[in-house]
Structure 1
Amino acid sequence: MKKVSSINLKFILIIILLIGVIVGSFTINFKGNSETQATFKAQNINDIIPKPLSYKKGAGKFILKKDALIYVKGNSEKETEEIRKIAEFLRGKLKPSTGFELNIIKGDNPPAGSIYLTTVGGEEGMGNEGYRVITTPEKVEIIAYKPEGLSRGVQTLRQLLPPDIEKSAVVTNVEWSIPVSTIDDKPEYGYRGLMIDVARHFFTVDEIKRQIDHAAQYKINKVHLHLSDDQGWRLEIKKWPDLTTIGGSTQVGGGPGGYYTQEQFKDLVKYESERYVEIIPEFDMPGHSNAALASYGFLNPDGKKKPLYTGTKVGFSSFMTRDEKTYAFIDDVIREVSEISPSKYIHIGGDEAEATKKPEYDYFVGRVSEIVKKYGKTPVGWDPIDTSSTIDSSVVLQNWKDSNTVAREKNMKMIISIAKKAYLDMKYNENTPYGLNWAGYIPVETAYKWDPTDYAPKELVLGVEAPLWTETIADVKAMDYMIYPRLLGYAEIGWTPKASRDWNEYKIRLEKQGERMKNQGINYYNDSSIWGTK
C-alpha cells in the first residue's frame, strides 16, 4: 500500500511539473513581443544596427592585438587593389583608439591574429552589398561577392568591437575583443538615403564629409544634396558663374551663404566613393528657383534679376516654361553636372511649384527629364512630378506625400520619403529646439515603426530616404541633433526585412549605440525613453 502511494505521489508531482512547463511555455510565447522578451533576445543576438539577417554566436572571442595584420585578396589584381583601399579605411578607423599600426598584406593565407578581407568564395546571391563575417578565436574573415559588400562588412566589424573603438585618442586597459560568431547579411533595399538641404543654410565640404562618415557606418549608401532653392545656389556652373557669386551669396536669415566649386564637388564624390556612398545632386525647379532668377535676368519675363531671398516661404518662384532660353540654360547646368557626377541619378526637384500653372508644370518637367536622359542619367523628382502626362516609368518618383496613385499606374519606381514619417527636420516633440512641425512631431519610435510598403507596392520601391530641410538648421550641432538617432532607424528600415524588425528589441540595440555616438562627438537627441534622463 505504501509502495503504491509513493508511485502515485511521484506521478502527481510529474503531472504538476509538466503543467508548469506548458503554462510557462505558453506565458513566454504569449509575451513574445514584450519588452522583457525583447531584452532576452537582444542579449542573445547582437547590438548591431542595422540588424543583420543572421547572427549566430559561438563560444569564445577574437582579440585584436597590436601585431595584427589585415590580409586582402580579390579575384583579380584590380579587385585586390580595391579591397586594399577598404583595408586602409578600416586601419584608419581602428588606429586612433587602439594606437595599432596594422600592416596590410596582399595574400590569401592569413596567420592567426589576422583580419582577412576577400571576395574569393563570395557568392553571387550575396549581391553587391551582401557579406559574411566569420569570427573565430584565431581570426576574423569577411567574405563578399563584391568589394562593396566588404565595405558594409567592415562597418559591421566596427560595431562588434567595444564602443571605445570610436574614440579619437588612444584608449588603454581595453581588450579589443570580438565575440566568436557568424554573420550573414545583405540589404532589403538597394537605396538607403540621407538628404541634406545645403541651399537654405550652407554647409562646408568638411561638414558634409563628417555627415557622410557617420551615415555610412549605418550602411546609408546615398547622400542626396539639395543644391539649389530660393535662398541659394550651391554648385559652380562654369558657363554661368553668377549662379554662385550672386545666387550663392546668401542663405536663410541673410548669412554669407557659400558654394562648392566643381573641384570641391569632385572631392566630395571621391570621399563618398571610398565609403561606397553615392552623391545625388538636385537642382529644384520650376519652383524653388529664386536664386537662379536673382542671378540672371534673362530667366525672367521682364529681363531683370529678381531680388535675393532670405526668408522661408515657398511657392512664389518659377522658371519660364515656354522660353527656349530657359531650356538652353538648364541644358548647360545638367551637362556640366553630368560630367562631374558619376551617380546614375540627377534630381530635378518638382515640388511646391505653386506659381506654375499645371499645364506649364507638366510641360516643363517633361522637357527637363528628357534633358537629363540625354546626358545618360535617370531623372528623379518629388511628387507631384508623376502626375505630368509627359512623365513615364523612366523617371523615379521621390514620394513625400501620402498619395502616389499615378506613379503606381505608370509603374514608376519610388524612393519613399513620407514627410510625417521620414522628414528629419520635423521636431521630436514640442520641446525640440530646432525644426518644424507642419507634418507633425516625429519621435524616435514613430520614425522607426513604419515600412515603405505601407505607401507603395514593394516591387516599385527603390528604397527609403530621410530628408533634412534646413530652414531652422544653421550649424552642425543642430544638424546632428535632428539626424541622430532617427537616421539609425531609417537605415534599418532600408536594410532589414520588415518581419525581422521590432521596436522593443530595436530600442535596446539603439541604447547601446549611444556610447558609440558620444565617442564620435555626435550631438544626438538623448531620448529619455531610450537613455533615461540626463
Structure 2
Amino acid sequence: MKNVSNRKFIFIMTLLLIMSIVSISIILNGNNNSKTIFAVENSNNIIIPKPLSYKKGEGKFILTKDAKIYVKGNNEQETEEISKIAEFIKEKLKISTGFELNIIKGEEGKKGGIYLTTIGSDKNQGNEGYKIITTSENVKIIAYKPEGISRGIQTLRQLLPPSIEKNTVVKDVEWSLPVVTIEDKPEYAYRGLMIDVARHFFTVDEIKRQIDYAAQYKINKVHLHLSDDQGWRLEIKKYPDLTTIGGSTEVGGGKGGYYTQEQFKDLVKYASERYVEIVPEFDMPGHSNAALASYGFLNKDGKKKPLYTGTDVGFSSLMTDSEKTYEFIDDVINEVSQISPSKYIHIGGDEADKTKKSDYDYFVGRVSKIAQKYGKTPIGWDPIDTSPEIDSSVILQNWKDSNKAAREKNMKMIISIAQKAYLDMKYNERTPYGLSWAGYIPVETAYKWDPIDYAPKELVLGIEAPLWTETISDTKAMDYMIYPRLLGYGEIGWTPKANRDWNEYKIRLEKHGERMKNQGINYYNDSSIWKDTKSN
C-alpha cells in the first residue's frame, strides 16, 4: 500500500511539474500552440536578433588553441572573400582567448575546427541567410553568399561565453558553444542606423566603433547625415570652402570637423568588411545653411550667410530657381558617387519650411534625376513623396506616418517613425540626453512595433533608427541613446513579427547586458530589464 501511495505521489508531482512548464511557456509566448513549440526549441536561445530556427542538442563544442578555421567557396574568388571573414573572426577571438587560430583555405572542416563554406548551401537563404551546425567535434557555417557567413559569424560570437567580448586575454574560461542547429535569414533587406554627424561631428574612429557594435546585431546600413544648417562634413574637392568654412563649427559653437575623401573611403572599406553599407546624405533644399555660409553664389544676394550653431529648423533654403544651384548639386553628387559604392544617396527633403510647395516639388524631382544620372537610387524624407515629380524609382524614408502619396505611387519605404524609432528621444523624463518632442521612447516601446503598422508589407524596404545629435556631443552620450534600443530595432528588421514577443525578448536582452559591458558600451541600464540596477 505504501509503494502504491509513493507511485501516486510521484505521478502527481511529475504532472504538476509538466503543467508548470507548459504554463510558463504560454505566459512567455502567448496562448498559441505553434509559438509554444517554438519556445521549447528555443529554450536556451539568447541570440539577438532571434533566429528563425534554433534547435539545441546535447553536449557542447570546446574551442581550443589548436583549432583551425577552414574556408572553402564554390570558386577561388569566393574562397578568398570567405578568408577575409575568417580573418575578422580570428582577430576577434584572439583578443579575449589569446588563441592564434590558423586559417586553412580550400579544405573541408576537420575535427576541432570552424568550417566556413558556401558549398552545399540553399539559394533560398538569400544573400544574408546562413545555417550554423555545431557538434561536439566542430562548428560549420553554411551560406549561399559570403555575406551570409558574415551574419552567421556574428551569431557565433553570441554562442560563446560573454567574456569573449572583453578586450584583454581572459584566463580560466571554457570557450564552449552549445550543440545546436540554427537556420536563419532576414525579414527585411534594409536595417539601418542613422548618425547625424552634422550637428555634432564624430571622428572616423568613433563612427567605426558604432559600425562594429551595430554589425553585431545584423544592422546592415549606416546612414550618415553629412550636411545640415550647423555643418558640412565631407570634402568636396571642387568646393573646398564647404568644409573649411561650413565644416568649421557645430551646435554650441564647437570646432566641428569633416572627413576627407580618403577618410570617407577608409570608412566605407571598414564598413564593407562587416557587410555594412554606408549611405551618405546631403539634406536639401532646407537644412542647408552650412552650404549657404560657404558660398555666396548659392544665395539670392550673392553673399554668404552667417554660420549657425543653434538648433532651430526650417529657416534655410537653397534657391530652387537657380541653375547655379543645380550645377552645384550635380558636382557634389558626381564627386560623392565616385567614392561611395552604395547604391543609394539620400537627398534629404524634410522641413523645407522656407520653400514654396511648387518650388519644393520641382526641386526634389530634379535632384532625384541628378542622383539617378550617376547610377544612384535616391532616398528622401517625407514629404518628398507628395511631389508630382517623384515616382516609384525614389525611396521614401517615412518619419511622420504620412505616406499616403507613397502608397498610391507604389514607392518603397524605409520606416523611421519618430515616436517609435528616433534614438535621440529620451527614455523617460530623467534621461540626461536627448529631446522629447516626439514623446519618450522606453526600451519596451522601441521594441513593440512593426513596420507593417505603418505601410503595406510589400512596400517596406526595411527600418532605420536615426540618432539626431542636437544634444549628443560625445561617444558616452551616443552609446547611451543607441543602446540597448538598437538591439530591438535590429530584431524588428531581422525577425518575423510572429516570432517576436516582448516578454521573451526581455529575457534575452538581459543576458546581453554583460556582453555590452565587456565591450565598454555605455548603455542605458534599464531597471525593468536589469533588476539589480536603478533606472537612470
TM-score category (smaller protein): over 0.9
Partners of 2:130 and 2:195 in 1: how far apart? 29
Distance 1:309 1:70 in 2: 53
What SS is found at the alignment partner of 2:58? strand
**Equivalent position of 2:119 in the other structure:** 120
Measured in 2, the distance between the counterparts of 1:178 and 1:77 equals: 30
Counterpart residue number, 2:490: 491
Distance 1:18 1:127 in 2: 45
**Residues 413, 461 of structure 1: 8 Å contact kept:** yes
The residue number in structure 2 matching 1:270 is 269
Q: Compute the displacement of 1:402 (Å).
A: 1.5
CA distance 1:402–1:352, shift in 2 (3 Å): same
The aligned counterpart of 2:316 is 317
How far apart are 1:45 and its partner, in Å?
3.3
Aligned pairs for 1:74-89 within 5 A: 74-89=73-88
Which position in structure 1 is the counterpart of 2:243? 244
Question: 3-state DSSP class of the match of 1:293?
Answer: helix
Structure 2 distance, partners of 1:408, 1:513, is 38
Q: Counterpart in 1 of 2:396?
A: 397
Change (3 A) 1:360 1:112: same
Aligned partner of 1:284 in structure 2 is: 283
**Structure 1 residues 90, 23: closer, same or farther in 2, change over 3 A?**
closer
> Structure 1 residues 27 and 100, CA, compared in 2 at 3 Å: closer, same or farther?
closer
Q: Deviations over 1:385-444 (max 9, x none)?
A: 000000000000000002211100000000000000000000000000000000000000
Equivalent-residue separation in structure 2 for 1:24 and 1:273 (angstroms):
48
Shift of residue 72, structure 1, vs aligned partner: 0.3
Corresponding position: 1:346 with 2:345:
yes
Paired positions, count: 526
Conserved? CA contact 1:38–1:505, under 8 Å: no
Taking a change above 3 Å as real, the CA distance of residues 205 and 328 of structure 1, as seen in their structure-2 partners, is same
Shift of 1:122: 1.1
Q: 2:254 is matched with which residue?
A: 255
Which secondary structure does the structure 2 equivalent of 1:283 belong to? strand
Counterparts of 1:65 and 1:18, CA distance in 2: 40
Structure-2 change in CA distance of 1:249 and 1:172 (3 Å): same
**1:242-291: CA deviations, max 9, x gaps?**
00000000000000000000000000000000000000000000000000
- Within the alignment, does 1:211 sit opposite 2:198 as a pair? no
Match for 1:174: what amino acid?
Answer: V
Which SS does the other structure have where 1:459 is aligned? Answer: helix
Residues 104-137 of structure 1 deviation map (CA, whole Å, 9 limit, x = unaligned)? 0013332211000000111100000000000001
String of CA shifts for 1:205-235, please: whole Å, max 9, x gaps. 0000000000001100000000000000000
Partner Cα distance (1:117, 1:187) in 2 = 19
* Alignment of structure 1 residues 514-533 onto 2, 5 Å: 514-532=513-531, 533=533
Report the structure number with the largest CA radius of gyration: 1
Mapped contact 2:109–2:140 kept (Cα < 8 A): no
Separation of aligned partners in 1, 2:386 and 2:38: 47
Aligned-residue RMSD, C-alpha: 2.4
Q: Which residue of 2 aligns with 1:133?
A: 132
Q: Distance in 1 between matches of 2:390 and 2:149?
A: 38
Does the 8 Å CA contact 1:232/1:247 hold for their aligned counterparts? Answer: yes
Change in Cα spacing, 1:506 to 1:26, as seen in structure 2 (3 Å) is closer
* Corresponding letter in the other structure for 1:408: R
8 Å Cα contact 2:41-2:55 kept in structure 1 = no
Q: What residue is the counterpart of 1:4 in the other structure?
A: none
Tell whether 2:416 aligns with 1:417: yes
Structure 2 counterpart SS, 1:196: strand
Does structure 1 retain, via aligned residues, the 8 Å contact 2:132–2:152?
Answer: yes
In structure 1, C-alpha distance between the alignment counterparts of 2:69 and 2:398, rounded to whole Å: 43
What SS does the corresponding residue of 1:219 show, helix, strand or coil?
Answer: coil
- 1:31 is aligned to 27
2:371 corresponds in structure 1 to: 372
In 2, Cα distance between equivalents of 1:368 and 1:499: 39
Tell me, what secondary structure is at the counterpart of 1:294?
helix
Letter in 1 for 2:212: D
Q: Deviations over 1:125-171 (max 9, x none)?
A: 00000000000010000000000000000000000000000001000
1:76-121 Cα deviation digits (max 9, x unpaired): 1011000000000000110010000000001333221100000011
TM-score (norm 2): 0.94
Three-state SS of the structure 2 residue aligned to 1:528 is coil
| 2:362 corresponding residue in structure 1 | 363
Pairwise CA distance, 1:31: 3.5
Amino acid at match of 1:264: Q
Give the TM-score, by structure 1 length: 0.95
Counterpart amino acid of residue 87 in structure 1? A
Partners of 2:453 and 2:42 in 1: CA distance: 30
Q: Which residue type is aligned with residue 118 of structure 2? A: T
Aligned to 2:183: 184
Q: For 2:466 and 2:274, how far apart are their aligned partners in 1? A: 20
How far apart, in 2, do the equivalents of 1:477 and 1:17 lie?
52
Name the CA distance, whole Å, in 2 between partners of 1:95 and 1:16.
52
1:72–1:117 Cα contact (<8 Å) kept? yes
Q: Note the residue ranges of structure 1 that are not aligned, 5 or more in a row.
A: 1-6
What 5-or-longer segments of structure 2 have no aligned partner? none
- Partner-residue secondary structure (3-state), 2:284: coil
Displacement of 1:13 in angstroms is: 11
Measured at CA, do residues 30 and 343 of structure 1 come closer, stay the same or move farther in structure 2, by a change above 3 Å?
closer
d(CA) in 2 for partners of 1:336, 1:309: 26
Q: Rate the CA distance shift 1:260–1:38 in 2: closer, same or farther, 3 A.
A: farther
Equivalent AA in structure 1 for residue 163 of structure 2: D
Paired residues of 2:41 and 2:56 also in contact (CA < 8 A): no
Distance in structure 2 (CA, Å) of the matches to 1:21 and 1:522: 40
Cα distance change, pair 47–25 in 1 and its aligned pair in 2 (3 A): closer
Cα separation, partners in 2 of 1:194 and 1:32, compared to 1, 3 Å: closer
Map residues 130-209 of structure 1 onto 2, 5 A cutoff. Answer: 130-209=129-208
Alignment partner, residue 451 of structure 1: 450
Alignment partner of 2:93: what SS?
A: helix
* Matched residue SS, 1:31: helix
Which amino acid is 1:123 matched to? D
Change (3 A) 1:300 1:182: same
Distance 1:195 1:28 in 2: 38
Equivalent position amino acid for 1:292 in 2: A
Say if 1:307 and 1:135 are closer, same or farther in 2 by CA, change over 3 A: same
For residue 367 of structure 1, give the secondary structure of its aligned residue in structure 2.
helix
Q: Is the contact between residue 211 and residue 222 of structure 2 (CA under 8 Å) also seen in structure 1? A: yes
Give, as a single letter, the amino acid of the residue that structure 1 aligns with 2:274. Answer: R
Supply the distance in 2 between the matched residues of 1:206 and 1:20 (Cα, whole angstroms): 56
- Is this contact kept in 1: 2:42–2:54, CA < 8 A? no
Show the counterpart of 1:64.
63
What is the distance in 2 between the residues matched to 1:137 and 1:381? Answer: 50
**Secondary structure in 2 aligned to 1:247?**
coil
